[in-house]
Amino acid sequence: MNKERYIIALDMDGTLLNRNEKILFNTLMYIRKLSRLGHIIVLSSGRPIRSLMRYYKTLGLNSPIICYNGAYCFHPYEKDFEEINYSFSKELIHSLYIDLYPHYIDNMVIENHEEMIYQNEDDTLYRFFPHKGIKVRYNTVFDNQERMFSIIMSFADPKYIQDIKNEVKKYPDIGVRFWSGLKPRYCEIYYKGVTKAKCLKHIAEYYHIDKDHIIAIGDSINDIEMIRYAGIGIAMKNSCQELKDEADIITERDNNHNGLVTALHKIIK
């Protein structure tokens, strides 16, 4: 293998994980090997910390983690790594909810490291998110704690997409991302300028690694900034077209067939 050190940022769902949310054996062994050789493996996901740490430990990593699509970045073991921390205020959450409910959205769920808060009980939404190791509350969105890193909303009809976009435009600092192909449908509020790429840049500066030695691999629209920033941006075969259009490389195989391994083999000799 090449002795040059790379930062390798890996999205989780649709990239590192297969359709069953597992890391395939060949992928697991290869990522462990890269880590042992000194490459910096960065899990970069929209997921919260609680649903990343078991994968992190399985891979045997000792590197920073990017959570909540860049709203939180930290190192579990190195105290001198300066964390990135962007959270939503009570006032913003309250205002968004008043603007959108019940006209366009059916429910809102917010979360931080300690708890997940739903405005309404919702079995479908509840099953969609992992809850192990976190407190769950209902009907208290307006009584939330500070440092909320995630705002997810559900809505029943795609006709409301433009209405939701229009309401969110009233807030200059935030945007909204929609997840397609799901019933009910979901959308996510995010701070503009808060991306996986910003965290990746912070990590590169911490390790003094040049941009041309940064590899980023993803499959979805929330990976676009990261793919653009990296010296080598890789889109999975199963990626959305928007990401493929931005990537330097598209994998020959998908996430169910060790696609990221075959791509990395060609770069790290």
Where residue 53 sits, what CATH number does that domain have? 3.40.50.1000
pLDDT of residue 129: 66
At residue 161, the pLDDT reads 93
> DSSP strand E in the chain: where?
7-10, 40-44, 65-67, 72-74, 84-85, 107-111, 115-118, 135-138, 150-155, 174-179, 185-191, 214-218, 232-235, 249-250
Task: Report the Cα–Cα distance between both ends of the chain, in Å, rounded.
Answer: 4
- Count up the domains in the chain and report the number: 2
Judgement on whether residues 198 and 162 belong to the same structural domain of the protein: no
- The C-alpha atoms of residue 29 and residue 13 are separated, in whole angstroms, by 18
Count of C-beta atoms within a 10 Å radius of residue 22: 14
Q: Are residues 121 and 142 in the same domain?
A: yes
Query: Which strands form 174-179's sheet, in the order they lie side by side?
Result: 135-138, 115-118, 107-111, 150-155, 185-191, 174-179
Among 139, 172, 191, give the residue marking a domain's end. 191
Same domain, 180 and 209: no
Number of residues in the chain: 269
Look at residue 2 and tell me if it is in a domain: no
Predicted pLDDT of residue 235: 98
pLDDT of residue 224: 95
80 plus 201 within the same structural domain:
yes
21 and 138 assigned to the same domain? no
Give Rg (Cα) of the chain.
Answer: 19
Q: Are residues 186 and 202 in the same domain?
A: no
Tell me which of 139, 159, 191 is where a domain ends.
Answer: 191
Average pLDDT of the chain, as a whole number:
91
Domain boundary (172, 191, 210) is at 191
pLDDT digits (tens, 9 = 90+) for 51-104: 899 999 999 999 999 999 999 999 999 999 999 999 999 889 999 999 999 899
Residues 187 and 199 reside in one and the same domain: no
Q: How far is CA 171 from CA 31, 165, 192, in A?
A: 41, 10, 10
Residues 3, 243 contacting (CB under 8 angstroms): no
Residue 135: CB atoms within 10 Å: 10
Query: What integer pLDDT is reported at residue 1 of this predicted model?
Result: 46
Neighbours of 166 (CB within 10 A): 11
Q: 3-state secondary structure string, 39-80?
A: CEEEEECCCCHHHCHHHHHHHCCCCCEEEHHHCEEECCCCCC
pTM recorded for the entire structure: 0.87
What stretches in the chain show pLDDT beneath 50?
A: 1-2
Tell me the per-residue pLDDT of 83-92, one tens digit each, with 9 for 90 and over.
999 999 988 9
Q: Indicate whether 133 and 253 sit together in one domain.
A: no
Same structural domain, 94 and 186: yes
CATH classification of the domain holding 169: 3.30.1240.10
Domain enclosing residue 32, as ranges: 7-85+194-267
| Residues 79, 100 share a domain | no
Tell me whether strands 107-111 and 84-85 are parallel, antiparallel or unpaired. Answer: unpaired
In the numeric block, which tokens belong to residue 110? Answer: 């917010």
Among 96, 75, 99, 98, smallest CA distance to 85 is for 75
Same domain, 55 and 113: no
